[in-house]
Amino acid sequence: MLIDSPLPQLDHLFDYGVPAELVGQVAVGVRVKVPFRSGGRVVDAYVIELFDPCVESASTTDAAYRGALSPLDSVVSTAVVLTPAVWKLARRLADRAAGNASDIIRLAVPPRQVRVEKAWLAARAAAAVVLPVARQPGFSAAPEPAVPDAPVMPAAPSETAVPIPPPASAPNHPLVEPVETAIPTPSPVSIALATPAFVGYPTGRLDSVIMEHHRVAVSAIPELTQLDDGTTIGRWAQTLAELAVATLGAGQSAILCVPDFRDQDQVQAAVAQLAPTLPLSRVDARQPNPDRYRAFLACLQPEPRIILGNRSAVYAPAQDLGLIAVWDDGDPLYTEPLSPYVNTRDAALVRQQNTECALVFLGHSRSVETQRLVELGYLADVNPAAGRHPRIIPTDFQSEPDQQTRAARIPSAAWQAAREALDHGPVLVQVASPGYAPMLACQSCKKASRCTHCQGPLGLKSASAVPSCRWCGALAAGWTCAHCEGTKLRVVTLGTGRTAEELGRAFPGARVIVADGDHTIQTLGAEPALVIATRGAEPVPTGGYRAILILDGERMLARESLRVGEDCLRWWANAAALAAPGAPVILAGVGGALARALNAWHPDIFAASELADRRQLRFPPAVRVASVTGTAADVDAALADLGAVAGLDVLGPVDTAAPLVRAVVRFGYARGDEVAHALKAAVVRNAAKRRKPKSGSFQPAPTLKVRFDDPELL
């Protein structure tokens, strides 16, 4: 049994006996309750292995406890919700990130909804469907597919690329396939379904990806397309749908991962046009719990289907998985905020290695992580047949703009392009920040204004609003500068609201639309309008934008992050892909390598340059990194455990929030298993020791925390 607990010291299998009255209900993958410790306490768990010592050979149970076993308490449900493939994936990812398998499973298996589950079980029983069952004593099973020779996360060219072996702590967990094959004969719909033509790509190139299960990085076609019902979507969504439909045509399932609900809507619309009768399950955290659980149970059905969702979709159970496709893998929404913080890209790589399915990373730009895999030959590079790309016009600010231009931050060329384009259709203005004026400063000393309660930044919600704190919401009436005792504030940054207000005055009579986190607009007609949007929130217009103005580029690049360059290129490329054919895309105030890469539409060249620089500096993804946070004594003890690992270096420890310190460990991919094993042992040791509360507090002393591959660490 695997106990469903976040405690690291419980992240291993426990042996329990199965009472005679429960033998017919217990199967591998079902939820159960088991006694734990004393006092009649029971906890949730999953059945991971079953064996009968009277039937099984001793060689399969060498590590099994030979004495009397505590019996499990009850079976929560007979539904098999944890499949062998998902368990294997969870175990490998947890070991790779020094985390708990139960934390991964919590992402993969939604909370149980009793009514939904009972209805699902009743429907399956009524339909007389052969259910997947776990191997019982005496049954045999087909072997799992061999792990390919290529590495999940390959080493740099100077390193020896070797396959990542199964974790030493969990060899061959015998979750097995069903007794009867659960792979059905393809339905008449899928048999009759002609493989769609992959629009815009060399003939047969993407077909071979599906049929031969290749691993590829695909450059998306940066344009819009209109469906039969009049809906406009990105061409990338049509490409994803074509890949998924082709996979189902081959009798296999497809998992499509996209960053958010806007992207899901586009892909779902594309699939509905290509193959409206094919089964599609949408796995979305925005769904109500019953709907989300219903979609999860549909994924357990013994038939191929398309599974569409956000970062957690990569963990969905899939019948005979044939494709994992990830759109825009550099998006930060793919970074899991919960322990063990596994990125969707890494989960997709590991699952592809487990199942040998096709793997596609699709995007208008390319993450440095994907570029590394391309350079190593682990991913093949696929480009569109024709070099179609938006008309990018990089420009600097005018030396002496007029008052209107200065107020709106728009250079004269962009001003003229917007004025002309508004006669024909919508114009997009991309800005850095939502809100009205998200940052204020003292008018006298120019220092950033701070809240007197929490030291957070002050901002304005509207022109007539009282300045307030963006963190705690406290009003700052009667504010006084802590540096010079000034009492007047000035606007430092302009958000969507202030930009819309100024452009509305500059273009009298024009319809002004704001699209940001507080104003969600997904689609737009072809009528003239000024659309002021933050990055990622741009509506998809019918026919495309007649002009696109990308403002605040210097502010976006001023963010302190190792990834700021590739993030900006991704934001701008995705916005440029919304342009109508031939429409100008004005990049204001940005030059250099970024502007050249966007202008020539060669994001791979920029990614390659970034990767080369990071190799010289030993920055990720040229190496892997792990942060170790805790008290000074705990961090020192954890770092001491890494002394035997060769080829790593440690930055720090440095003070963070007292009494905590943090150290950063950098190491090669070939040493990942050793580092993860040593740090997991340190975390378990720290969690198992008794910790007294701090003096005068009921809170226990801080625990040791480890995080691998944090994208914002450096």
CATH number at residue 85: 3.40.1440.60
Picking from 382, 401, 418, the residue at the C-terminal end of a domain is 382
Amino acid 632: pLDDT: 92
Amino acid 413: pLDDT: 80
In a domain, 262, yes or no: yes
442 is in an annotated binding site: yes
299 is in an annotated binding site: no
Picking from 563, 594, 615, the residue at the C-terminal end of a domain is 615
In a domain, 150, yes or no: no
**In the structure encoding, which two tokens stand for residue 386, read together?**
């024709």
Please state, in angstroms and rounded to a whole number, the distance separating the CA atoms of residues 181 and 184. 8
Q: 416 Cβ partners below 8 Å, 6+ apart?
A: none
469 is in an annotated binding site: yes
Same structural domain, 418 and 523: yes
User: Number of helices and strands (H, E) in the chain?
Assistant: 19, 29
Same structural domain, 67 and 200: no
Residue 478 Cα to chain centre, angstroms: 44
Same structural domain, 315 and 460: no
In a domain, 174, yes or no: no
Amino acid 254: pLDDT: 97
Same structural domain, 97 and 212: no
pTM (two decimals) = 0.85
Please state, in angstroms and rounded to a whole number, the distance separating the CA atoms of residues 45 and 30. 9
Residue 223 three-state SS: coil
Same structural domain, 409 and 556: yes
Which candidate, 487, 484, 493, 408, places its Cα nearest to that of 459? 493
In a domain, 473, yes or no: yes
CATH number at residue 664: 3.30.70.1710
568 is in an annotated binding site: no
Same structural domain, 662 and 588: no
CATH number at residue 285: 3.40.50.300
Same structural domain, 684 and 639: yes
Amino acid 296: pLDDT: 95
Same structural domain, 261 and 297: yes
Q: CA 545, 548, 550: angle at the middle one, nearest 5?
A: 150
DSSP H helices in 78-218 = 84-96, 101-108, 114-126, 188-192, 205-212
In a domain, 479, yes or no: yes
Find out whether 504 and 510 touch, Cβ atoms under 8 Å.
Answer: yes
In a domain, 352, yes or no: yes
Domains: count for the chain: 4
Same structural domain, 217 and 278: yes
Q: CA 543, 547, 550: angle at the middle one, nearest 5?
A: 125
Which candidate, 506, 287, 164, 508, places its Cα nearest to that of 295? 287
Find out whether 90 and 315 touch, Cβ atoms under 8 Å.
Answer: yes
Cis geometry, peptide bond prior to residue 621 (ω within 30 degrees of 0): yes
List the domain range (segments joined by +) for residue 658. Answer: 624-708
- DSSP assignment of 361-398: EEESS--HHHHHHHHTTSSEEE--SS----EEEEEPPP
Same structural domain, 219 and 249: yes
Cβ neighbours of 53 (radius 10 Å): 12
| Mean pLDDT per 10-residue segment, the chain (714 residues) | 92 90 90 85 92 59 65 91 95 96 95 94 76 39 36 34 33 32 40 62 91 95 93 95 94 96 95 92 90 94 94 94 96 94 97 96 96 96 87 68 53 85 93 82 83 82 80 83 82 80 85 87 92 92 94 86 93 96 90 90 94 95 95 92 88 87 94 94 87 59 89 84
In a domain, 645, yes or no: yes
Picking from 346, 362, 382, the residue at the C-terminal end of a domain is 382
Amino acid 691: pLDDT: 60
Same structural domain, 663 and 526: no
Residue 559 Cα to chain centre, angstroms: 21
In a domain, 589, yes or no: yes
Same structural domain, 453 and 355: no
Amino acid 64: pLDDT: 55
